[in-house]
Amino acid sequence: MAQIIDGKAVSAAVKQEVADEAAKLKEEKGLKVGLAVVIVGNNPASRVYVNNKKKACEAVGFQSFEYALEESTTQEQLLDLVNVLNRDDRVNGILVQLPLPKHIDEKAIINAISPEKDVDAFHPINVGRIMIGDYSFLPCTPAGVMRLIESTGTDITGKQCVVIGRSNIVGKPQAMLLLQKNGTVTICHSKTKNLKEVCLGADILVVAIGKANFVTGDMIKEGAVVIDVGMNRLDNGKLCGDVEFESAEKKASFITPVPGGVGPMTIAMLMKNTLTAAKQQAGIE
């Protein structure tokens, strides 16, 4: 039976580290860390995420600047705001909540954010830096996954790592981070033919495919570390991951639950990136 990885506890530890360092920065350098969060329109899920980010800022002692813009905001108006925030010294990190309304080109907005303030690590410059292993920010979800794997005491070196999912936000950067830790990495996706066999070879399995209960216990190697990035809402309103927990926990050595696994890590890593941005902008790191 697997040990459950407690994402809430690991995330609380990360936030505490960030809060301690932020307090020190304020005391010793008079520096207050600031994060700007921009949301356009009324997507209910986005509203919840943005509120959680605001609360996390308060909890770690950051200043948060919230910009809630009308659905009808034009691309030009949003670009103007990003440019103002790029120049605002109180703002160390800028996060534009995705998805944006259809009439706005997300790429154009991401490209306009100063790479030094891009705490999502979505800007092509930051993506490129991750490819060559010379980065300041890591995208929050894959960074959170790495921290969870680390919390199990697993050494990634030489291990067979399988990532299911190839999104720019999770799958691709996740594979790069596992590779940097000397894992032997395979990326699978919806077109992969022998998925079950590939999964059965995985010592570390990260699932980010966005399909409820997609990975079942018969696809998991005895003793594998299983990280479930999925967050799916079933017809009965219940949240579930991409991994069928009941059958998977019988095979894995460690497994993340949904909710309470990867989810809480994402915001904690965002706080960490914002602190790093503030230190770099102050010439401290």
Copy the structure tokens of residue 100: 């944006």
Give the C-alpha separation, 267 to 11, whole Å.
8
Q: Is 134 a catalytic residue?
A: no
Question: Among residue numbers 36 through 55, which ones bind ligand GUN (CB under 6 A)?
Answer: none
**Residue from 59, 98, 108, 239 in contact with ligand GUN (CB under 6 A):** 98
CA 123, 129, 133, 136 torsion-angle sign? negative
Which one from 15, 117, 118, 120 is the annotated catalytic residue?
A: 120
**Min. distance of Cβ 262 from ligand GUN in angstroms?**
12
* Site size for ligand GUN (CB under 6 A): 6
Q: Coil, strand or helix: which one is 163?
A: strand
The mark string for 77-96 relative to ligand GUN (x by CB under 6 A, - otherwise) is ------------------xx
Q: Does 97 bind ligand GUN (CB under 6 A)?
A: yes
**Min. distance of Cβ 211 from ligand GUN in angstroms?**
17
**Min. distance of Cβ 23 from ligand GUN in angstroms?**
26
Q: Is 3 a catalytic residue?
A: no
Q: Which helix or strand (DSSP H or E) is residue 210 part of?
A: none
Instruction: Name beta bridge partners: 143.
Output: none
Locus of tokens 């991951």: 241
Instruction: Name beta bridge partners: 185.
Output: 161
Q: Does 69 bind ligand GUN (CB under 6 A)?
A: no
**Min. distance of Cβ 214 from ligand GUN in angstroms?**
20
- Under 8 Å between Cβ of 2 and 226: yes
- In sequence order, which residues have a C-beta less than 8 Å from that of residue 118 and are 6 or more positions away? 93, 94, 110, 125, 126, 137
Q: Is 250 a catalytic residue?
A: no
Distances, alpha carbon 132 to alpha carbons 127, 128, 149, in Å = 9, 7, 22
Give the C-alpha separation, 17 to 89, whole Å.
24
**Residue from 120, 203, 228, 242 in contact with ligand GUN (CB under 6 A):** 120
Copy the structure tokens of residue 240: 């579930």
The mark string for 129-158 relative to ligand GUN (x by CB under 6 A, - otherwise) is -----------x------------------
* Beta-carbon count within 10 A of 29 CB: 12
Which one from 15, 53, 251, 272 is the annotated catalytic residue?
A: 53
Which residue minimizes CB distance to ligand GUN? Answer: 98
**Min. distance of Cβ 182 from ligand GUN in angstroms?**
27
- Of residues 37 and 219, the one with the C-beta less far from ligand GUN: 37
Instruction: Enumerate the active-site residues.
Output: 53, 97, 120
Binding residues vs ligand GUN (CB under 6 A): 95-98, 120, 140
